A and B are shown apart, each in its own frame.
Chain A
Amino acid sequence: MSKLIYNRRRFLGTAAATGAALASPFYLRRAAAQSGGEVNIWTYNDFVPAAFKEQFEAETGIKVNIRLVDDQGKQFNLLAAEQPIPTVDIMTVAGHRFLQFIDSDLLAPLDTDRLTNWGNINPTFSESDWSTINGNKWGAPILSGMEVLSYNTEVVSEEEAQTWDTLFSDKYSGQTAYIIQDMMSIIMLKMGYDGNMVEYMDDPDKAAQIVEEAKQFLIEKKPLVRKYYEGGAEFQQMMVNQDIVLGHSWNGPAAALINDGFPLAMSIPREGSYGFVYTYNIANNAPNADNAYTFLDAILASPEIGAAMTKASGFISTYKDASQYLSDLEKKSTSFPEEQLANLQFFRAEANEMKYGLVDPAVEAIKAA
């Protein structure tokens, strides 16, 4: 009797093992066969095109694990908590946030010699002043974005969208939304100050006074706003549900809505706005650094991948000639008139420690007020 049970158990065990092997996802077996390992990426939604990911995994046997992030600060804290043995290989840091990551030893300098496709990036992005710090490159620019005023074209006129004041007008009370932290920089710019705070690096008192002024403005306008939001998806949802008709947003989420046929338009108001560049960076002590370089080189390989990233995310590609692969609507949703672009400046990192030391508590104060 015991023999029978034993045999039956062994049979069941063998059958189960066979079944599991048959049922295991194809890539697992393939990865095991090629011993490609894996690469762990923290990035925003839609920054790694699905088709590219599939192809990359099939060709290299390297499994791509993506963890979505929606905020630079959260990403910083996650990594700070994990160092010196992080689980992440590649992160997505906005160019103007580099310094904070570099100062805390969270990033490894990028060895561009290992990237045969580095030259595919438009030099405007790969060779600009913010991209080289301490004589090193720290990331591969992939997408560029900007802070824009997005509006429902069935409700808000093009004329009204030419100024940030419309966002704070009584006419659209309870129908607006913005990200407070980003809005602080824009309000400072709108008030005639340097929102990057580089001008006030030697005068912290002046900086504190300016942040206080911007903070008071936003607290005063608090009764008019419908929602302080944090992620692009939230903004899209509020627009689609018509909970808001205009708001500050990044151009990416807005462009994605436009491409879906939603009656939305964007403008860079005349008071000006800020732009930023997302880069892929390799974490200091990355567990799979070699795979990370393989991945970076592969994703930089062709302008079509850049175009696919633009299509999915709505941000503007940093790749040379990527726009050739976009449809007319996609081109329209990722470009601005020259006179509006003239109002745009890039975020800068030099004064970040002072700036965010003042702005972050102000943001909490506005939320709490």
Chain B
Amino acid sequence: MPCPAARGAGGQTHAKESCMTDHSHPSSKAVATVATDRTFWGRLAAWGPYHTLMRLATASPRRQFLILAAFPVLWVLTQHLGPMLQMLRVSLLDAYPVAPGVEQHFTLDNYARFFGDSIFWMPFFRTLAFAAVFTFCTLIITYPVAYFLARHVSRKNQMLFLLLLLIPFWVGEIVRTYAIMILLGNTGAVNLVLKWVGLIDRPIPFMYTSFSMGVGIVYLTALYMLLPLYSALEKLPQSMNEAAADLGAGAWTRFWRVSLPLTIEGISSGCTLVFLISTGFYATPVLLGGPSTTVFAETIAGFFHVAGDEWPTGAAFATIMFMAALVITATFQKLMNALRKGESK
């Protein structure tokens, strides 16, 4: 609170002094009450060392960048890179986990086991083949949905439709897998309807086949394909197709020469996501798959639980799958980029 007497023209010094002396007691009391009354954050902000620290921390843009970068880097290191490196390390050990005091040695035997025994190649290549086929199916099924959503639904309804499509994703993966069981089981909805219509006498054994597994995986991954496709199609101006139509292109040509090439970006990111997710699926193949659909994730899991102390082998197999998926994805991306370059020329 300013001292009004201090503004007086005459006897300025004296007036100021008297003002200060007059008010010194009450004002110091006020400061004291404010200090105790302050919230935790208020006290922290007024605290000297905190001030100094903050000044030091935000002194230069470089420092600000470093502080900002620290958290994402820490996250990537501890949550992504760390576990991967630990898995890589375990895959190179001869025993893990071991009792305290037992010596561990590095070895490549765990990798040799995969390349040395053809029995493991089948599930490995089966997984890659399944993932490729299911990714393609997901693309074929979701493209029209995304197209409809981006082109034929009015802007203000699009959010509502997207939310509707999202509803199944509010429940967990396992619950949705069980829902598929209810649909496809021998006494499931599909068989009941077919029987009721009179098309079949005995239920068709859909369950525990590559079909039921495929239905499950396509259903579970559809959204990861739909969203990139939707955003790519949404960006595509209607005028392009209209221009093509004006120039005499039929519906098929318009799709093949205009829509498809211009949405390759969405297709490529959608396919990559779905492919990577499909190679890693475990619960769905276990619950929906049968004896002839054993995927590599189940083989890997076998080393971790049923087969006793074989974590290093499981880790080695997981690393092999990871590398293979990475190489395939990289090749796929290269291919897609090449296609896009061809269009822009």
Contact = CB atoms under 8 A, between A and B. Distances in A.
B37 interface: yes
A98 to B, nearest CB: 15
B194 to A, nearest CB: 15
Contacts of B144: none
A105 interface: yes
A84 B101 CA distance: 12
Given A226-B205, A243-B186, A363 B306 contact: yes
B291 A222 contact: yes
B207 interface: yes
Contact of A367 (B42, B299, B311): B299
B330 to A, nearest CB: 27
B309 A369 contact: no
Nearest to A361: B307
Nearest to A83: B99
Given A73-B305, A77-B309, A241 B185 contact: yes
Given A73-B306, A77-B308, A228-B291, A241 B186 contact: yes
Contact of A73 (B294, B298, B308, B311): B308
Contacts of A368: 119-120, 122-123, 294, 299
Interface string A1-20: 01101100100000000000
Nearest to B178: A237
A237 B185 CA distance: 10
A259 B309 CA distance: 38
Contact of B99 (A3, A71, A105, A369): A105
B37 A3 contact: yes
A9 B203 CA distance: 64
Given A174-B205, A226-B290, A74 B308 contact: no
Contacts of A9: 39
| Interface of A, helix, strand, loop or mixed by DSSP | helix
Interface in B88-108: 97, 99-100
B230 interface: no
Contacts of B100: 84
B23 interface: no
Contacts of A76: 308
A117 B145 CA distance: 66
Contacts of A174: 205
Category for how many chain B residues contact A: 35 or more
A364 B317 CA distance: 13
Interface in A74-123: 74, 76-77, 80-81, 83-84, 100, 104-105
Contacts of B305: 71, 73-74, 77
B292 interface: yes
Contacts of B99: 83-84, 104-105
Interface in B301-323: 302-311
Contacts of A363: 302, 306-307
B188 interface: yes
A367 B291 CA distance: 7
A73 B301 CA distance: 12
Contact of A242 (B123, B203, B291, B311): B203
B248 to A, nearest CB: 55
Contacts of A73: 305-308
A363 B305 CA distance: 12
A348 interface: no
- Most B CB within 10 A of own CB, among A227, A243, A368: A368
Contacts of A181: 306
B148 to A, nearest CB: 35
B97 A6 contact: no
Interface string B205-218: 10110000000000
Nearest to A175: B205
Interface in B284-302: 286, 290-292, 294, 298-299, 302
B132 to A, nearest CB: 20
Given A6-B39, A73-B305, A226 B208 contact: yes
Interface in A226-277: 226-228, 230, 237, 241-243
A360 B286 CA distance: 18
Contacts of A5: 39
Given A6-B37, A369-B119, A227 B308 contact: no
A193 interface: no
B187 interface: yes
Given A2-B39, A80-B97, A243 B208 contact: yes
11 contacts: A2-B39, A6-B37, A77-B304, A105-B99, A223-B292, A226-B291, A227-B208, A228-B291, A230-B286, A360-B306, A368-B119
Interface of A: 2-3, 5-6, 9, 71, 73-74, 76-77, 80-81, 83-84, 100, 104-105, 174, 181, 222-223, 225-228, 230, 237, 241-243, 356, 360-361, 363-365, 367-369
Given A2-B37, A73-B306, A360-B307, 20 more contacts: A73-B307, A73-B308, A76-B308, A80-B97, A84-B100, A174-B205, A181-B306, A223-B292, A227-B290, A227-B291, A241-B181, A241-B186, A241-B187, A241-B207, A242-B203, A243-B205, A360-B306, A364-B119, A365-B119, A368-B123
